[in-house]
Structure 1
Amino acid sequence: MAGTTINTETYKLYPSPRNPHREIFAHQVFVPHPYALVDPPSYDPKGRWSLYAAHRLADGKNGQLVTYELEADAEKFKSRFTPD
């Protein structure tokens, strides 16, 4: 699965090889820092998650997309994440 590109209406995604789940969940957080360290397990999510390198099609911005199964996990990530 490594090297596979996923195209959606909003993003061109490149899956992280560290993903325990290879799906795009409903609750998404775009991090506009392509080189920031994003470690979803360190935010203690209760549900499943996945991480992608992302190219946002609307404005050509590169970054990372973290997707969560649970909305509470996405909100916790948004409130606690600070780029390094």
Structure 2
Amino acid sequence: MPEATINTGTYKLFPSPRNRERTIFEHEVFVPHAYTLIDPPSYDPKGKWSLFAAHRLADRKNGQLVTYELEADAVRFKQRFVAD
């Protein structure tokens, strides 16, 4: 059985069951809204992505972390994302 959490030193992560990849990609976007529905495919990523419930260790803030293989996908997400 895979680990339920991943500790990166910056975040304690809880993988989304919708992830096709359990990889933490290079381009990260922290969303400080733990209960907002985030659907990464709806942002038209060209590369791979992964989504995690996240606890940011530095300030103990809960939210979500979206990681992208391609920088352009992370930029597109930041531009389009609007919290509920």
> Given the two structures, how large is their TM-score scaled by the length of structure 1?
0.96
User: Residue 25 of structure 1 corresponds to which residue in structure 2?
Assistant: 25
For residues 28 and 65 of structure 1, what CA distance do their matches in structure 2 show?
7
For residues 32 and 22 of structure 1, what CA distance do their matches in structure 2 show?
21
Give deviations 1:34-84, integer Å, cap 9, x for gaps.
000100000000000000000000000000000000000000000100011
SS at match of 1:17: coil
Of stretches 2-11 and 49-58 in structure 1, the one that deviates more from structure 2 is: 2-11
Change (3 A) 1:80 1:2: farther
For residues 73 and 15 of structure 2, what CA distance do their matches in structure 1 show?
19
Q: CA RMSD in A?
A: 1.2
For residues 14 and 2 of structure 1, what CA distance do their matches in structure 2 show?
11
Structure 1: gaps spanning 5 or more residues: none
User: Residue 7 of structure 2 corresponds to which residue in structure 1?
Assistant: 7
Q: Is the 8 A contact 1:3 1:14 kept in 2?
A: no
Task: State the Cα distance separating 1:2 from its structure 2 match.
Answer: 6.6
Runs of 4+ in 1 over 2 A off after TM superposition: none
Structure 2: gaps spanning 5 or more residues: none
SS at match of 2:67: strand
SS at match of 2:38: coil
Between the aligned residues of both structures, percent identity stands at 75
Aligned length: 84
